[in-house]
Structure 1
Amino acid sequence: MPTQQPQPIPQQPSSQSPPPGYAQQLAYGPPAYPAPPAKNSNAAVWVVVAVLAVIVLGLVGYLWLWPQIVNDSRASGPSTSTSTVVVPAPGPAPAQGGAGPAPATGESMPSYSTPCPSVFSSPTLGTSAVGSSVTSCEFAEEVRSEYLRQGVRGGVVTIAAYSPVTGRTYTMTCSGTTVVTCSGGNDAVVYLY
C-alpha cells in the first residue's frame, strides 16, 4: 500500500508575496516545548549533612571549651591573700597504697607533701598540695575549687571533684580549718592551705 504524503493546506494570498526563491515549508508534528529543568535530588542530602556537621562541631566545641571557660571565670575574680604554712620536722613518709596521715594535730603541712601552683586565687585556702604519689596537682586544684564552692568550713565535708588527668569524678572527704586535708578517690590525698 503506497503511503500518502500530507497535502499542504492552501493559504489565502497575502498582500505581500514572498521574495523570489523563497520556499515556504510547512511543519507537521507536535509543537516543540523546552525540556523541564533537571531536578537536583542531592541538594536535600547536602543540607542535612551540613546541619548535622554544625551540630557535631557545636557539641565538640561546647564539651572542649566549657571547662576552660568555667576555670577562667573562677580565676578572674579579684583577690589578694597571704598565707603562712607551718612545716613540721621531717617524719616518716606515708605507706604506699595508703591515703597518708592526716595533719589533724596542729594542722600543719606534712614534709612529704608537694605544693602545687595555684590555678585561681582565693582569699582563703589559696594553695593546694598533693600528699600521695597517685595525686596530680591538676586534681588538687579541682578539689580546692569544689571545697571552696560549698559553704561548710571546719567540719567534715564530702565533695565530688573531677580529675582532668583521668577524666573521672572522685568522692573526697575533707576536714580541718587552717590546713584542710581531703582524702578519698583512688588513694588520693590533697592539702588545702
Structure 2
Amino acid sequence: MAHVNRIAVRLGLLAVAMFGFGFALVPLYDVFCDITGLNGKTATRAVAESRVVDEQRWVTVEFVTYQSSGLRGRFDPSVHRLQVRPGEMHQVDFTVNNPGGDARVLRAIPSVSPGVAASYLRKTECFCFQEQPIAAGSEAVMPMRFYVDQALPADIEVFTLSYTLYDISEQAAAGSGA
C-alpha cells in the first residue's frame, strides 16, 4: 500500500509541476519574443518620433485585418498597401463597426511578417495600445501612426502588418467589477 501512496504523491507532484510550467509558459514566451524579435510582435507602447527620412529607399507595408470567430461586423484598413520611405511618418485609419445590439469592448493584437520587421516598425499612436469600447450599432475610426526605422535590413522590401480583433467584453466587465 505504501508503494501505491508514493506513486500517487509523485503523480500529484508531476501534475502540479506541469500546471505550473503551463502557467509560466505565456510570460516566458513573451520574454523570448521580446529578446529575439520572433513571432512578429510589435511594441505595445508609442515610440518617440525622432527620425530621419531615407529618400533613397521605398518599403511596401501591407495591412491585413482578421476578426476572431463569432465577432460580427466589419474591420478594415483605409488602405491595404502603402509605399513608404523609412523615417517618413504615415497614418492608416482602421474602421470597425458593431452591428449588434450590445456595446462591445474590443482588443486588436498586431503581428508583423516577416517577424524580424517588427523590430523596425515604430508606432507613435495605435488603437492596439488599449481596449476599444464601441457602442451598439455604431462605427469607429481608429488611427495608427507609424514610421519604418531606417535600420530595416535592405533585403526586406515588403512586410505585412496584420491585426486580429477580439471581443473582450466579458473580460473587461469582470476586470472592472461590473
TM over 0.5: no
Bigger fraction of residues in helix: 2
More contact order relative to length (CA 8 Å, sep ≥ 6): 2
TM-score (norm 1): 0.30
TM-score (norm 2): 0.32
Rg (Cα) greater in structure: 1
